[in-house]
Structure 1
Amino acid sequence: MTAQNYARALSRVLVHEGGYSNHPEDPGGATMKGVTQRVYDAYRDRRGLKRQSVRMIDESELQEIYRRQFWNVVKGDKLPAGFDYIVMDGAVHSGPSQSVKWLQRALGTVKVDGVIGEATLAAVEEHPDHDQLIAATLSRRLAFLKALKTWKTFKGGWSSRVEQVQDIGQAWATGSVGPQPVFFLGGNVKATIDQAKPLPAKGPADATAGAGGGSVGLAAVLDQVREQLDPLAAGSEIIGHVVAALVITGAVLTIGGIGYRFFAARRAKKRADALDLPDGVTA
């Protein structure tokens, strides 16, 4: 369908990726024009070539890596105009599987498996509003980026890149040219699932409220102390006040623990959704 778009899609991705980079917080490590040293090593290993710095990658190698490992994997030749570019750009930035998942989640009608198949291609073709679908796909991408530990460091470059990718993708989808791409500092740092923030744990809430596995939480301990002091409360005003304080403290801890557990569960669910984790994954 859009085989002729490969060259112009690649030219824009390369602008976003820039030249050589090796930021200490980049999970991709040493990278040249979007190709990491690890990918380049594997490429040369498969061809029986001696390894060398990714800085030395030549044009033919670059073209083959991009076409084989990104464009072909996301079925760029079969995706409609605009989608070919936005999915390829996401594939280079965060991996092909992750980029495809953003599109599948935005569709909401196909299996989210990170693989472009006939069902996904048909769903994209049949979608009544490609402009809206591109926006929804890149909204998923931005949510994913915000769920990474490195978001605070690279949010400026990442958010600017996503915004421009959307502008270009939507323009292509309507037959227009769109703006010329611009390199954004930090926008080329790889954004991969291994950099995800840990999901909020329910442990602190369980310890406070006494929930889970028959364990005795702090509130339960206070309740036991109160029961021991209760018989003495009638004969001592001070003990009576202590008992009352224990009752109130235990209640506050229990309610607070339950509230935090609910809050943590909601945050964990939202983050798992942003990271496209399957149902039931909680950590």
Structure 2
Amino acid sequence: MKTDFAKCMPRILAYEGGWSNHPRDPGGVTLEGIIQRVYDGYRDRQGKPRRPLKPEMRNTAEWKRERDEIFRAQYWKAIRGDELPAGIDLVVFDGAVNSGPYQSIKWLQRALGFSGDGHLGETTLAAVQHHPDHDKLIADICARRLGMLQQLSTWDAFGKGWAKRVANVKAIGQAWATGSVGPAPIAAHEDQGDAKAYASDVAQPAVDSGDAIKGAVGSGTIGATLNSVKEQIEPIAQSADWIMHVYTAITVLCVGAGVGAVLYSLWSSMKAKKARRAIDGDIVATVPEGQPA
């Protein structure tokens, strides 16, 4: 059994940088890739008092030991890193640190042609071992990863760093898969590439398509109000020109509200389906080449 955990860690740490607390990062306070919530859980299990992650902890012997234990237990073992081929282990490991093991495993499984349940079992391992082109497999994993990242609501803030990170880990992974060294890891954190990229942040429509349809048929608040006013005016609409004009205007608004709701429903449904495809790993993006080392 190979043990490439120690080989992968310096690359991950280069991407993560030190302490961060970006207001839009769903991970919140983070130190070298470890978020406060995960660190609290680790300390609880060890029977130790909780403590906040601080920049000055970074180079202490105690923190390094705790950090490596968390990375190994939370991410490396979850993706069965010691059983993955060289290069693929790094790519799946980095995806797990950035977006969670479940999501990273789904990208691997979709690249293998599986439906993807997010659990790495014997079937997935066998498929990886028998895959004829690990270089191509790594490229496919990274393309699916970037495909989801581009759909996140935080892409505008962190996209530049994420794109560089995925491109760099792809280049290193492909080099390792062919027995080469590959480029040096980049400092992705300098472009906010250390921000957590969770599937829960995939951009979703503000209103469910079903709710929009309800509005279209008049059960929505706006549609119901307009129809109520229209019904009250209808008996006296012929009594004065200005009332007729009001009645006509309300009728047009009712039609417009219905059409608008139908159109929004179609758009909402398409957006929701795209979000689902992104989470499932079915959106493939073009990973940029030639990122600086």
User: Are 2:196 and 1:190 equivalent residues in the alignment?
Assistant: yes
Alpha carbons of structure 1 residues 61 and 246: separation in structure 2 relative to 1, 3 Å:
closer
CA separation in 1, counterparts of 2:92 and 2:146? 13
User: Are 2:129 and 1:130 equivalent residues in the alignment?
Assistant: no
SS of the equivalent of 1:275 reads helix
Spell out, residue by residue over 1:222-249, the C-alpha distance to the aligned partner (whole angstroms, 9 max, x if none): 6x959x979x99xx99999999888877
The alpha carbon displacement at 1:85 in A equals: 0.3
Q: TM-score, normalised by structure 2?
A: 0.77
Alpha carbons of structure 1 residues 220 and 203: separation in structure 2 relative to 1, 3 Å:
farther
The alpha carbon displacement at 1:125 in A equals: 2.2
Q: Extract unaligned runs of 5+ from structure 2.
A: 282-293
1:108 to 110, 113, 119: 113
The alpha carbon displacement at 1:197 in A equals: 2.9
AA aligned to 1:36 is: I
CA separation in 2, counterparts of 1:92 and 1:125? 23
AA aligned to 1:71 is: W
Question: Which structure would you say has the larger RCO, counting Cα contacts within 8 Å and 6 or more residues apart?
Answer: 2
The alpha carbon displacement at 1:252 in A equals: 5.5
Alpha carbons of structure 1 residues 39 and 220: separation in structure 2 relative to 1, 3 Å:
closer
CA separation in 2, counterparts of 1:38 and 1:250? 49
CA separation in 2, counterparts of 1:239 and 1:98? 60
Counterparts in 2 of 1:88-107, with a 5 A limit? 88-107=93-112
Counterparts in 2 of 1:41-80, with a 5 A limit? 41-54=40-53, 55=57, 57-80=62-85
Counterparts in 2 of 1:33-44, with a 5 A limit? 33-44=32-43
Alpha carbons of structure 1 residues 208 and 176: separation in structure 2 relative to 1, 3 Å:
same
2:267 to 236, 258, 263: 263
Instruction: Report the more deviating stretch, 16-25 or 83-92.
Output: 16-25
SS of the equivalent of 1:50 reads coil
Alpha carbons of structure 1 residues 31 and 217: separation in structure 2 relative to 1, 3 Å:
closer
Report the count of equivalent residues. Answer: 272
Spell out, residue by residue over 1:197-229, the C-alpha distance to the aligned partner (whole angstroms, 9 max, x if none): 334532574255317xx779849966x959x97
Alpha carbons of structure 1 residues 179 and 238: separation in structure 2 relative to 1, 3 Å:
same
The alpha carbon displacement at 1:40 in A equals: 2.3
Spell out, residue by residue over 1:48-81, the C-alpha distance to the aligned partner (whole angstroms, 9 max, x if none): 2333343255332222222222111100011112
Q: CA RMSD in A?
A: 3.3
Alpha carbons of structure 1 residues 29 and 216: separation in structure 2 relative to 1, 3 Å:
closer
**Structure 1 contact 209–217 (Cα < 8 Å) conserved:** no
1:120 to 124, 132, 136: 124
CA separation in 2, counterparts of 1:216 and 1:52? 49
User: Are 2:217 and 1:210 equivalent residues in the alignment?
Assistant: yes
SS of the equivalent of 2:83 reads coil
**Structure 1 contact 200–265 (Cα < 8 Å) conserved:** no
User: Are 2:161 and 1:157 equivalent residues in the alignment?
Assistant: yes
Q: Extract unaligned runs of 5+ from structure 1.
A: 278-283
CA separation in 1, counterparts of 2:226 and 2:21? 53
